[in-house]
Each structure stands twice: as structure tokens, then as C-alpha cells.
Structure 1
Amino acid sequence: MIAFERNNIDQETLIRLYKELVKPRMIEEKMLFLLRQGKISKWFSGIGQEAVSVGVACALEKEEYILPLHRNLGIFTSRGVPLHRLFCQFQGKPSGFTKGRDRSFHFGSKEHHIVGMISHLGPQMAVADGIALAEKLSRSNRATLVFTGDGGTSEGDFHEALNLASVWNLPLIFLVENNGYGLSTPLEEQFKIKSFKEKGPAYAIETHTIDGNNILEVYSKIRVLADYVRRESRPVLVEAITFRMRGHEEASGTKYIPEQLFEAWAKKDPVENYERYLLNEAILTIQEIESIKQKIKDGIDEAWQYTENEKEPVADASIEEEDMYAPYVHIRTRPRTTLKSPKRFIDAISDGLRLAMDKYPRLIQMGQDIAEYGGVFKVTEGLVERYSKERVRNTPLCESAVIGAGYGLAIKDYKSVIEMQFADFITSGFNQVVNNLAKSHYRWEQAADVVIRMPTGAGTSGGPFHSQSNEAWFFHTPGLKIVYPSNPYDAKGLLLAAIEDPNPVLYFEHKALYRSITEEIPDDYYTVPIGEAILAEEGDDLTIVAYGNAVWWAKEAVKKEAASADIIDLRSLLPWDKELVLKSVLKTGRVLVINEDTLTGSISAEIAAWISENAFESLDAPVMRVGSLDTAVPFSKSLEDNFLPVKRIQDKLKELQYY
């Protein structure tokens, strides 16, 4: 039995809570019936946990974002998501929120202020950081709430998100649904703590434990805590003790759970107990309850009928590929004045950041040591004095949380530029890049307006963890854009184009170029279109395709060999300029592709394969490639020089010329 306390809640709200509580239960029962009939393929049941979702959704203001998990049906129904669209989402029908591309609650709806999860438990907590940061920056006086399960708290994302929220004083509620099991693993095999109230103090976060099956306690407590985080702009951690009466999913069953646990929790059923309370308090009659249930049933049946009648999505490859990216047509901006000044590569990047900050008041920069210190390479030096620490933000060492926060900012129509201290360190945020940013628009038409700056490359004796060329890791990922300038003019223009673009862009900047080259470039704002290569040099005998520092190596090799070559500076890697490459190859008939990355599986392999497939009959020699050794990047200069392809380019150039 559950002891309910009214807490001055008016009768209208009490009845509304019942309607919202019984609706997900009845939907669940319908879905389980359809599952047995073979009409749906999978179901994650939240039976027994409805009070948490419904209490939260009813306690928060409708404009406040909630980030639920896959057992929080009550969030969606309480927020008024149309049932026919919800059911179409479950069935992969076109009227669902992801056009059949995903299932369950792997979607968001800005209209309903909901951002769904991805299957990797944890990343949504960092996204909530970003949304809460946006609310704080815009002075909206709104709270944000994000769900995680007891199992998900073992993820590094939990630590990173809580720590970042605490450091930045974000108006955010972290809610842990503690249902006793992470799939089949009981609590004692997940962590040693007895209660999540032990976790919060480590982050200087106020923590509360509530009865997750008591709808009135959930509703009342979340209302109080939401008022607190709005007023104080501080995060809180809430543990909701509850229990799921079905398996992790229906296929997994419940044999691993002792029967006595089911018997104990059945007595705490949130729907039955609350219904009994309303009857005992004469707030509702049996007849009124039956009327409410009938109306809900009619709505469910009507929505399911709509879903059954809707046809399966029709596959169209062109639409599928286009939808990986938010629609965007770049209009090239040219300088308004003729004023130029000499700028090093690093100065061009700094200049681009400054001009972008001027143009976009909702642009936020984030990264380790980028504020007063100016970043480890001093790219952001002086920006914090000009734009404040609200917009130029030092971060803890938490790449996943910061990239996720960038995505959260994008959901609230902010732009962000995130500096990786070294490109190597993005491994700690890899999931956010390839699964959240890259798939966002394809899944639910939400642009991920994030630029990640990637100081990259060898030649500076940085060793295995500060010198990697890792652009190929992301080249394989649809939904991302990748740029890699080789000179100051392109460094500035491509950065500004990347910031303009609403899609996620990885901006690689070679560390060895920062202070080694200087060029007179426009002082004014201008852009270089993403996806457009350029001829760095023109010739007749062969084509060299390169990018980044390899462009300079190619120029030096051609000069030493006195060769006549088209040197194509790709500038952009995803997408890359197939048209210019093909035009040059058809002219010269001989091709050398150079990259600094290790040779096996590098971007040069894709380019070489594409040329062979599309220009085979025009080739006078095999497409040749040069790259670094297939080893980690060594520290010692002699070993690093041997690792890099610089000396081998000359030999390969001769081999190609005289083939």
C-alpha cells in the first residue's frame, strides 16, 4: 500500500494526474496484446513505473525540456504527443517522428519539448547540460530534466554530465529511475552504494530520494525542485525508487528476478493504489473512472487503427542520403573591403573565431583552457576579454559531456565551436560525434549545429597520443562534414563556412602549420565553400591529390623533380570535390594521392578507388598512393621523420612519371 499526501493539490489536478497515469498503462496493455498477436516486434514495458514519468511531465512547465528513456511512455502521453504518431513511430511508419528510421523513443519533438534517447545509455545527460546551459544563457527561468536508469549511472557520461552541470551551475534535474536491475544485473553487482543520495555530495549537488510509485510524491517533489533550480540555477539529483513488472524487454523475460519481489511490488502498483485513493477520498466514482478509461480506450483503438491502415515507408535512396544533413545552401561571402594583412595560419583561425562571435550572438565556444589561458596553442587568446566567460567557456576534462552539451545548445538554436585540446582526445567523445551529432537530422530532423576544432598531425615530436591523423575515423560516418585547410586564407574562410553551416563539422587544423606559414589575407569576413577543392598548382603530366600539410610536401616534391603537375588541395574531405579531381585526371592520366595518415584504410584509399572506378580508361598508370607507415606516431624526430611520407613522396612521384 502507498500512503498518499495531498499537499494542497487541487481536485482538478488530482483527476488530471489519474487520467495521465492510466493512459500509458492502457497503452502498454494494448501493446503487449499486439505483441502476442505478432503485430509489433518489440516492446520495452514500463508497467509499474508510470508514476515517475507522469509525475515529472505534469510537474514541469510545458516549455521545459524533458529527456526520457525507453520506459517513459508517460512523458510522451502527458505532453500531448498524438497517439497515432506515437504508434506509427513504434511501427516504423511514415507518420512517426523518424519516418521509419528508428523505433521506440529514439526521437525528439521540439513542439513537445522532448529529446529522446539513443541506445547508448548516458549520452542524453550531456545533451541536457547543453539545453540547460541555453536556458541559463537566455535568462528563460526554465528548468530541464533528464532521466537515467540505475544501470546508466555506471557510464562515464553520468560523472561527466553531473560534474559539468555542477561547475556551470545549470538549472537541471538529473532523475535516476532506480528499478533494481540493469537488464538482469542487480544493484549489488552494479555499485557499492546503498542510495544515490551518496552520489550527489561528491559533485556538490543537492540529492533527494522519492517513492517513484507515489504519483503525488513525485509530482509535488519535482514541482518544488523545479522551482529551486529555476530560482538558484543549480542542478539537483533525484533518485526515484520504483520497479518494472516486466522484463527489460519482453523477449528477455523475468526469470532472474525473485518471485517475492514481484509480490511485494505488486502491492505498490502506482495505478491501482492511486485509483483506490481517489475512490476512498470520493474524488472520483467508479462510474467516472470507467468513463475515463473508456474514453482513453477509444482514443487508443482509433490511433491504432490509423497506424494499421498506414502503408510502410517507400524507400528512396536519394531522400535517405539527403536527410543525413540539414538542408543548407551555402552562399559564398566575399570580403566587403580590399584591406588585407599578413596572417599566420593560427592568426587566420583566431580572426575567423572573432568575426564569427561578432556575427552570431548565440555562438558559444567551449574547450579545455580556452578562456584566460587562450588554449594550449593560444588560438583563443584574448577572446574571453572581448566576449566574456559566458561565451568563451573553460570546461573540465570531459570531451563527451562538452560535445553532448554542444548538441543540446543546438536543440535550443545556439551555435557552438568546441576545441579539442588535441584531435587525439576526441576518442573520449567519439560516441557523441558518430551517434548523436551525425545521426541527429536523419533521425528526427534536428540540426546539430556544432563545429569541433581538431588540432592534428605529426611533425612536432608529439608522440603517439598528440600527433595522430584521425580524419579517416569520421570520413566513414554519414551526417558529418570534414574540412582540412592547408593555408591561412582557407583556414579562415573554411572556419567561417563551417560555423555558418547548421550541420556538424569537424575542422582539422594542422599544428605544424600554425606558425610556419604566413599569407596576406582579407581582414574582412569571407567564406570558402565546403566541398570545393582548388588547384594549388597547375601542370600537364600528372595529378597530385592532397590536403593539409601534404599539399606543401607535394609542392616541394614537384619542385625538386621539376615535374608538371596539377596539385589539387581538397580543402574539404566530406564531401570531397569529385568533379575537380575527375577533370584533372582526365587531363593528365596519372594520379598520386597523398595523405599524412597511415596508409591502410586512409582517405587516399577511397579517392584512389573512386578514380579507378570512374576514370579507368583514361589512366596511363595505376593510381598510386603515399601515406605514413602503418604504425603509431613515434616521438623521436628520426623515427617520426621515417614514419611520415615526406621522403617517400619523391620516389613515388618518379615511379608514377616513368611508369
Structure 2
Amino acid sequence: MYFDRTHISDDELRAFYKALLYPRLVEEKMLLLLRQGKVSKWFSGIGQEAIAVGATLALDQDEWILPLHRNLGVFTTRQMPLQQLFHQWQGSPLGYSKGRERSFHFGSRAHHIFGMISHLGPQLSVADGIALALQLEGEGKVALAFTGEGGTSEGEFHEALNVAAVWGLPVIFLIENNGYGLSTPVREQFRCEQLVDKAAGYGIRGMRIDGNNILEVYHAVQEAKRHALQEQQPVLIEAMTFRMRGHEEASGTKYVPPALLEYWAQRDPILHFEQFLQYLNLFDASLRESLKQEIDLDIQAALHEPVHAFNLDDELADMYAPAPAPLAPAGAVSEKRFIDAIADALQQAMSLHPELILMGQDIAEYGGAFKITEGLVALYGKERVRNTPLCESAIIGAGLGLSVMGYRSMVEMQFADFVSCGFNQIVNNLARIHYRWGQNANVVIRLPAGAGVGAGPFHSQSNEAWFTHTPGLKVVYPATPEDAKGLLLAALADPNPVLFFEHKALYRSISGPVPDAPYTIEIGKAKVLLDGDELSIITYGAGVHWALEYAQLHEDLSIHILDLRSLQPLDYNAIREAVAATGKVLILHEATLTGGFGGEIAAWIAEHCFHLLDAPVMRCASLDTPVPFAAELEGHFLAKSRLHECVQKLVKY
């Protein structure tokens, strides 16, 4: 193995060796503790240390790295205290994720390390967002994201590379090609001769290197950084290596031919670097023993620290980052359509928050599918109002990456239906990140939803219940222009991920008074629209207007109407008061009945307000079918067509 020590001093070589040896010795200790039952699981990176260590050494301390679960060398080279790392591996509350995550599924802002999730692709898109922020700030820095050869088969890999290439982002994608995805060899994972060839498909530079040679890794990452910054283009590196142990310790390596293990054992990165240092008379034979003693002392100290007891309040409090206090409306009021109120909110938010970036398909010059962002690119430029490729997941991930760097982002889905393409990023990354390691996700996803406009099954869904089930998200569904503006401004100021549903049929059909100046409405607070004593209708979105129209046509009924406005968090006090007002409750929503959010509300009322009820809680929802295209079919599909029947049934009970 040839080592190119160009521009590397003797002292740096010694430091490189220490950085390379240390994670190996920590791993050996962890494997012993695993057998003793003092840690529960371990993903080994033995044989791959040169990649993590070399790449980390090649970057500045304040350049973000997005590692995976075999990259212990990233954490140790960034000098994260072993005692706290060990607490993390134990699942102790003293670890980086307070016992909420396993092994390396955590991040640390202080060390510029972003925590992975088990779904391997999303890291790459988050790196895009971090790199975008660095580019906007002119920092002269890069982001580096790791993936494995198996991860290159995931759609997110292709989306992330495409977005980075199209936007010209200074990001390095580093593939650790270690031969196997659990037990599946590379010949069953891809057909190309080498993974680096994929770079050409995106018009970016690719490099293939020996991942077991720490100096080759170091020089390659330095060169990739130089190229990324000079050319403002991403770089793909394929580092060839081998996983010497199982995917995790329980799986073993029986599926690996013994001759292959022996071949790679002879290419051990530490063994070869030691031989190189011996040749240069720089090898310190005592270092191994002194590091072992240091590791033992740190582990013993960690083992004897007291563990804090479970605290329910702490668990619930960490679901969301604190939101700013509401900003009361003041000044003049104008009549605005629903769509204009949303556009007004976006324009004012762009002025209020210079760090806000808008992203979405066709949102710049074209103004978006519904023309809501029309004119914003002329006011704020294409750096802040960005057209995107059709890469929903990568763009949502980029929004999270921007958040890491202190930015806010709004991601517009052309239709709420298309959010399914970004589902993983929302429910597994955005929603859980603050609970996992205290990182904000200042991302608002706008979702034009709902039927009634003849758009058929794939442009008409009411899919809010997909997200109300996921802790950590906020879900907002306004029904009036005033609420649309105030709640959108609140969402854009909120440090938590917000799913903002906008009913398409309301865009140009509903108008109302809206304050001209910026204001916010607290997310999680419902609003009473009519105060009655015979029947309560609890609803949101288009259902609000169906209920109001019904009440106007049936003035003989005293109807109490509660507009939820926010579905997560939910205003349980307002729901209780609506139940108490009449004793009879109808939950009305446009989404299909089975699994609709109304079922959750009905269950809560039955459990907590049973003594207030004079009749069973009833639901009025749309048919359990896809949304049909033909106007007559769509009309019968919608819950509105059954509202009178449901009300009369409840009244007569």
C-alpha cells in the first residue's frame, strides 16, 4: 500500500495514526462489553476506519459531516468525549439523545455532526440543504455525507445527487463500498462496473479511491473540497473497503467466503499505516497501550455515573421546540380571497424573516401551480425563491439541512397528493429530530388539498390523517382568509415542522376581512364560529363552510360550530366545551371515513366527555373510495352530500 505524505509533516502523521487507532481500540472494548451485556447492540466499522478518520481530518472542524453507523472515527476524530458516547451506546439519559436513540442515531451541533436515521438515504438530501446554506452565506465550506453501496439503490440517493448537481452545491457524497448490504453482495445490488460511474449521469465529478489508505482518503477529500468550492459543484467519491464483521454483531459473517475475509484482513488500514510509520521511524509502540488505559478509565467512570429516572414531563416537553408568542393583529383590514391571504402571508414572511427560503416546483417565474408565489422572485431573487426538480423527498430533506444552518424554509407541494413522495423525510426525519437530539426543523410544507374541483383521484386527496398520527409534526388546516394568513405566518415563525393544508376549492371562492399588517394566530387553538345549544358540529377546512351553509339554511336548529383550525396539536378544551354546549356532537370532515381524523376526536370525546353526551358521537365523512373525477360522482363522494342525513339522525336521537 503506497502512502502519499505530500504536505503532511511527521507530527501530523503521528496524529493521523492516533486518530486511526483510537476508534479501533474503542470498538474492541465495545465488543467485549457487548459480550458482557453492558451494551445491547453494536455496528462494527472495523476495517473501515481510514475512511471516517481520513475524511474528518481533511475537513475543517466547523464543516458539517453526516455520518452513518460505521463511522465511529468521525465522532472520535471530532473529539467527542468517550464517556458521553458510551452513555449514548448504553441508552442512558446521560447520552447525546437522552436514551431515546441507539448507537450513532444522534447529532451534535457543537461538533457539526448531523444524526442519521435508519433509512439511509435522507442524510444525503439534508447535506444538500446544509451546502445550500453555506453557498448562500459564501462561507467557503462544504458538507460531507456518507452512504453505503446499498444506500445508492435508494431513490433519495438519486434525488440528492440530482438536486446538488442542478443547484451547483458544495457537497461531497462519500460511498463506503464495503462489499455487502447485510448479507447481500454487491453483485446482487447493482449492475454497473463501479458506483462512481453514476457521477457522470449527473454531470458531476467522481473519484474512486482505496478506502483502507488513510492518506489517500485524506487527499481525495481535500481535492473534492477544492473542486466543490472552486467549481461550485458536488463531488461523488467511492471508497473501496470491506466490512470485516457482521452487519451488526448478531448477524455474523458466515455468508462471506473465508478467502475474501483473509484477503481484506491483509489490507487492514491500521496494519499498513503502522508499517509505513515503522519505515519512517515514526512508530510509537507504546501508544496502543496508553490509549487502552485511557479508554478503560473513561468507560469505568461512565459505568459508575448514576442514571436518572424516567420523567414524563421531560419526554413530552421535548416533542416540540418552544414557539414564539402570537403577534396580535393591528391596523387596517381589507377584504381578501383565501388565496390572496396566503400570498400576503408569504410576502410579509419573506420580509420578516430574511433567512426564509421558498422551494417548490415552478414557484419562481411561473408563480406556482396556483399562482400563489407569483411576483416573489422579482422581489427576493432566485436564491430565496427556488424552482426545484421533481424531487419532493430531497427538497424536504434540503429544508431540514437549511434549518440546521439557522434558515427557515417553505416547501410547496403542487398538490397534497404528491407529498407521499416525501413521506419518509417528514415522518422519520423532520418529525422526530427535536425529540431525538434537540435539533429544530424550521420547515413548513404547504399542501393544496381537497376535492370539489374535478381533479380526480391523484389531485384531490384529503390526506391530513397521514400526519396527525406522527408525534412531532404540527398540522394546520385553516378555513378562512384571516386564519390562513395568521396561521401561515405563525407556521413560518415556528421552529417545528408544520404541515399546512390549503383547500383548493376555497382559494378563489371564499373571501373575508384580513388585517393588512403581519399577525399570527396560535397553532393549536380552535375557534367557535356559531354558539348554539342543540347540536355541535366539529369540523375544519371545507367542512367549516358546509356547516355554516347548513346552519343558514336551517335556522330552526341552534347549531354550535367549532372550527378546529389545527389538528396537531389539538384544542381539547374547545372540544370539551363544544360537547358540553349541546350534548350532541357531529364530527364533519372531507377525508374518507375509515381512519379519518374524526375517529380520533370521537374516541377522545367518548373517553373524556361521556358524561356530557346525550347521544352517540356521529361522523360525517366522504366515501371510502378514491376521489372520482366526474362531477356527479365527486358530488356524491363528498361528505357534504350526507350532511343533512347525519344532522337529522343526530337531532332525532
Normalising by structure 2, what TM-score?
0.99
Residue equivalent to 2:337: 344
2:434–2:441 contact (8 Å) kept in structure 1 = yes
1:93–1:307 contact (8 Å) kept in structure 2 = no
Give the distance between the partners of 2:493 and 2:57, measured in 1 at CA. Answer: 38
Residue equivalent to 2:311: 316
Counterpart among 367, 373, 376 of residue 383 in structure 1: 376
Give the distance between the partners of 1:162 and 1:188, measured in 2 at CA. Answer: 23
Give the distance between the partners of 2:627 and 2:49, measured in 1 at CA. Answer: 53
Give the distance between the partners of 2:196 and 2:245, measured in 1 at CA. Answer: 27
Within 5 Å, give how 1:8-23 maps onto structure 2: 8-23=7-22
Deviations 1:235-269 (A, max 9, x none): 00000000111111111111111111111111110
1:99–1:313 contact (8 Å) kept in structure 2 = no
Residue equivalent to 2:301: 306
Give the SS at the match of 1:606.
helix
Letter in 2 for 1:125: L
Give the distance between the partners of 1:331 and 1:40, measured in 2 at CA. Answer: 43
Letter in 1 for 2:326: R
Letter in 2 for 1:410: S
Q: Are 2:407 and 1:423 equivalent residues in the alignment?
A: no
Give the distance between the partners of 2:215 and 2:575, measured in 1 at CA. Answer: 66
Within 5 Å, give how 1:494-513 maps onto structure 2: 494-513=487-506
Letter in 1 for 2:255: Y
Give the distance between the partners of 2:135 and 2:308, measured in 1 at CA. Answer: 40
Note the C-alpha offset of 1:232.
Answer: 2.3
1:544–1:594 contact (8 Å) kept in structure 2 = yes
Note the C-alpha offset of 1:313.
Answer: 4.3
Residue equivalent to 1:187: 186
Q: Are 2:491 and 1:493 equivalent residues in the alignment?
A: no
Give the distance between the partners of 1:8 and 1:312, measured in 2 at CA. Answer: 47
Residue equivalent to 1:440: 433
Q: Are 2:569 and 1:575 equivalent residues in the alignment?
A: yes
Counterpart among 509, 512, 516 of residue 516 in structure 1: 509
2:94–2:307 contact (8 Å) kept in structure 1 = no
Q: Are 2:618 and 1:624 equivalent residues in the alignment?
A: yes
Counterpart among 580, 587, 597 of residue 586 in structure 1: 580
Deviations 1:318-368 (A, max 9, x none): 22122111123x42212342x222211000000000000000010000001
Give the distance between the partners of 2:3 and 2:350, measured in 1 at CA. Answer: 52
Give the distance between the partners of 2:607 and 2:282, measured in 1 at CA. Answer: 74
Give the distance between the partners of 1:521 and 1:112, measured in 2 at CA. Answer: 45
Q: Are 2:374 and 1:374 equivalent residues in the alignment?
A: no
Residue equivalent to 2:269: 270
Note the C-alpha offset of 1:289.
Answer: 2.8
Q: Report the more deviating stretch, 146-155 or 519-528.
A: 519-528
Give the SS at the match of 1:366.
strand
Give the distance between the partners of 1:511 and 1:493, measured in 2 at CA. Answer: 18
Letter in 1 for 2:213: N
Q: Are 2:392 and 1:399 equivalent residues in the alignment?
A: yes
1:93–1:310 contact (8 Å) kept in structure 2 = no
1:107–1:116 contact (8 Å) kept in structure 2 = yes
Q: Report the more deviating stretch, 43-52 or 582-591.
A: 582-591
Give the distance between the partners of 2:558 and 2:290, measured in 1 at CA. Answer: 80
Letter in 2 for 1:118: I
Give the distance between the partners of 1:161 and 1:252, measured in 2 at CA. Answer: 30
1:561–1:650 contact (8 Å) kept in structure 2 = no
Residue equivalent to 2:285: 289
2:468–2:567 contact (8 Å) kept in structure 1 = yes
Give the distance between the partners of 1:316 and 1:598, measured in 2 at CA. Answer: 38
Give the distance between the partners of 1:39 and 1:548, measured in 2 at CA. Answer: 52
Give the distance between the partners of 1:600 and 1:8, measured in 2 at CA. Answer: 66
Give the distance between the partners of 1:289 and 1:550, measured in 2 at CA. Answer: 75
1:100–1:313 contact (8 Å) kept in structure 2 = no
Give the distance between the partners of 2:454 and 2:135, measured in 1 at CA. Answer: 42
1:92–1:101 contact (8 Å) kept in structure 2 = yes
Note the C-alpha offset of 1:5.
Answer: 1.8
Deviations 1:260-309 (A, max 9, x none): 1111111110001101110111123xxx331x223321221122112212
2:583–2:614 contact (8 Å) kept in structure 1 = yes
2:480–2:510 contact (8 Å) kept in structure 1 = yes
Q: Are 2:92 and 1:96 equivalent residues in the alignment?
A: no
Residue equivalent to 2:447: 454
Note the C-alpha offset of 1:317.
Answer: 2.1
Q: Report the more deviating stretch, 303-312 or 395-404.
A: 303-312
Letter in 1 for 2:560: D
Q: Are 2:407 and 1:414 equivalent residues in the alignment?
A: yes
Q: 1:462 to 1:305 in 2, by over 3 A?
A: same
Normalising by structure 1, what TM-score?
0.98
Give the distance between the partners of 2:38 and 2:315, measured in 1 at CA. Answer: 26
Deviations 1:504-526 (A, max 9, x none): 00000000000001112111101
Residue equivalent to 2:650: 656
1:93–1:311 contact (8 Å) kept in structure 2 = no
1:634–1:640 contact (8 Å) kept in structure 2 = yes
Note the C-alpha offset of 1:227.
Answer: 1.9
Give the distance between the partners of 1:149 and 1:613, measured in 2 at CA. Answer: 48
Q: Report the more deviating stretch, 19-28 or 516-525.
A: 516-525
Letter in 2 for 1:370: I
**Identity across matched positions, percent:** 58
Residue equivalent to 2:534: 541
1:141–1:231 contact (8 Å) kept in structure 2 = no
Provide the aligned length of Structure 1 versus Structure 2: 652
Counterpart among 522, 525, 535 of residue 518 in structure 2: 525
Letter in 2 for 1:152: G
Q: Report the more deviating stretch, 578-587 or 259-268.
A: 578-587
Give the distance between the partners of 1:306 and 1:352, measured in 2 at CA. Answer: 54
Residue equivalent to 1:644: 638
Give the SS at the match of 2:221.
helix
2:411–2:446 contact (8 Å) kept in structure 1 = yes
Counterpart among 599, 618, 642 of residue 593 in structure 2: 599
Residue equivalent to 2:106: 107
Note the C-alpha offset of 1:458.
Answer: 0.4
Q: Are 2:248 and 1:249 equivalent residues in the alignment?
A: yes
Give the SS at the match of 2:173.
strand
Residue equivalent to 1:332: 326
Q: Report the more deviating stretch, 357-366 or 612-621.
A: 612-621
2:53–2:73 contact (8 Å) kept in structure 1 = yes
Within 5 Å, give how 1:459-498 maps onto structure 2: 459-498=452-491
Give the distance between the partners of 1:613 and 1:246, measured in 2 at CA. Answer: 51
Residue equivalent to 1:33: 32
Within 5 Å, give how 1:204-215 maps onto structure 2: 204-215=203-214
Give the distance between the partners of 1:175 and 1:104, measured in 2 at CA. Answer: 21
Structure 2: gaps spanning 5 or more residues: none
Note the C-alpha offset of 1:131.
Answer: 0.5
Note the C-alpha offset of 1:196.
Answer: 1.8
Give the SS at the match of 2:492.
helix
Give the distance between the partners of 2:115 and 2:142, measured in 1 at CA. Answer: 17
Give the distance between the partners of 1:219 and 1:362, measured in 2 at CA. Answer: 34
Give the distance between the partners of 2:266 and 2:308, measured in 1 at CA. Answer: 43
